[in-house]
Amino acid sequence: MMGSESAEAVERAFSKQSVVYDRDDARNIILRDLRRQVYEHVERFISPGSKILELNAGTGIDAMYFARAGHTVVATDVSNGMIAQIERKIALANLEQRITCRRVSYEHLDQITGTKFSYVFSNFGGLNCTPDLSRVTRHLPALLEPGGLLTWVIMPPICPWEILGILKGNGTKAFRRLKKNGTPSHLEGEYFITHYHTLRAMRLALGPSFRLLAHEGLAAVSPPPHHSEFAARHTRLYSILRKADKLVRNHFPFNRWADHIIVTFRYDP
C-alpha cells in the first residue's frame, strides 16, 4: 500500500495540477494522439451502454468522452482538486445522469458498494503510484460483472525512447524505470514514488479469473508526452514515428516496451 506521506503528496500534487491540466492536455499534440489511440483500443471491446468504473479519473476528460458516447461512468480519484473539476464539468454539460464521481483511492475500492460494472478503466499511468497492483485487483471481483472488461494504461519498466536518451548523455533517466523500489517523481513541487509494472505483474495481480485479450504499446518508438516540443518542431519526423508505432505496437517487444502499454482483460470467474 502507498505510505501515508506518499499518498498525501500524490493528492496535493494532482490537486495543484487540476487547475491547469485541461489546458496543458489540449496543447499537447502527443497526448491528444495517444488518447485517441486509447479510445480506439477501448472501442474494440466495449459494448453500447456500458457501466464504467474509472480509476484515477483526473479532470474527467475520459469520463466526459465515454458519457457522450452513451455510457454511464462512476469516476473516482483521490485528489480533491480533480474531483472538483469533474463536478464542475458535469454541471456545465448537464451530464448528471451519465456521470457520478467519488473521491476514493483505487486501493480502497471496497468503499464502492451496491453496484456492478461492465467495464473498469484507468488511463495514463495513475496506477503507477501503487507499488502493488494486488491492492487494487483484490476488490475487482466484487465490482465486475461476469464477462466484464478491464482496460488499464500503465507505464512499464522499459521505454525505448527513454533508453535512447543515453545517446545524449542522459544515462540516469534512461534506466530510472528499472529501480526495484520505484523512482522518485515530482509534480507541482511535490515528491512521491512512481512504480513501473510489467505485463507479467499485472497478470499475477489479476489472477486466473482474468483472461488477457489484447495489449499494445503506447508511444513505443514515438516520443512520450513530455516531448511535445519535439512533435511541434519536427512534424514530419513525428508523423513517421507515429506510423512506425502503428506497425509495431501490437508485436513483441513493443507491446510490452513503450512509454505506456494498454492492456485489456476479461473477467471470467
For the chain, domain boundaries:
4-267
Q: What is the pLDDT of residue 129?
A: 95
CATH number for region 4-267: 3.40.50.150
Torsion of CA 82, 84, 89, 94, to 10 degrees: 140
Apex 44 CA angle, 41 and 47, nearest 5: 125
Q: How far apart are the first and last CA of the chain?
A: 25
Quick one: cell of 11? 493528492
For residues 213 and 265, the answer to whether their CB atoms sit within 8 Å is yes
Helix (H) or strand (E) holding 66: helix 61-68
Strand order in the sheet with 144-154: 99-103, 72-77, 51-55, 117-122, 144-154, 260-267, 210-218
What is the pTM assigned to this prediction?
Answer: 0.95
Sign of CA dihedral 105, 109, 112, 118: positive
Contact 67, 86 (CB under 8 A): no
- The rounded Cα 39 to chain-centroid distance in angstroms is 12
Strand 51-55 relative to strand 117-122, pairing: parallel
Strand spans (E) along the chain? 51-55, 72-77, 99-103, 117-122, 144-154, 183-187, 190-194, 210-218, 260-267
Helix axes 61-68, 80-93, angle to 10 degrees: 30
Render 158-181 in DSSP notation, one character per residue: --HHHHHGGGGT-HHHHTGGG-TT
Contact 59, 89 (CB under 8 A): yes
Q: Hey, what's the cell of 129?
A: 503510484
Q: What is the pLDDT along the chain (269 residues), one digit of tens a residue?
A: 455 556 788 788 877 887 888 888 889 999 999 999 999 999 999 999 999 999 999 999 999 999 999 999 999 999 999 999 999 999 999 999 999 999 999 999 999 999 999 999 999 999 999 999 999 999 999 999 999 999 999 999 999 999 987 877 666 778 899 998 999 988 878 888 999 999 999 999 999 999 999 999 999 999 999 999 999 999 999 999 999 999 999 999 999 999 999 999 999 99
CB count, 10 Å around CB of 149? 23
d(Cα 22, Cα 201) in Å, to the nearest integer?
A: 31
265 vs 225: CA distance, rounded Å: 25
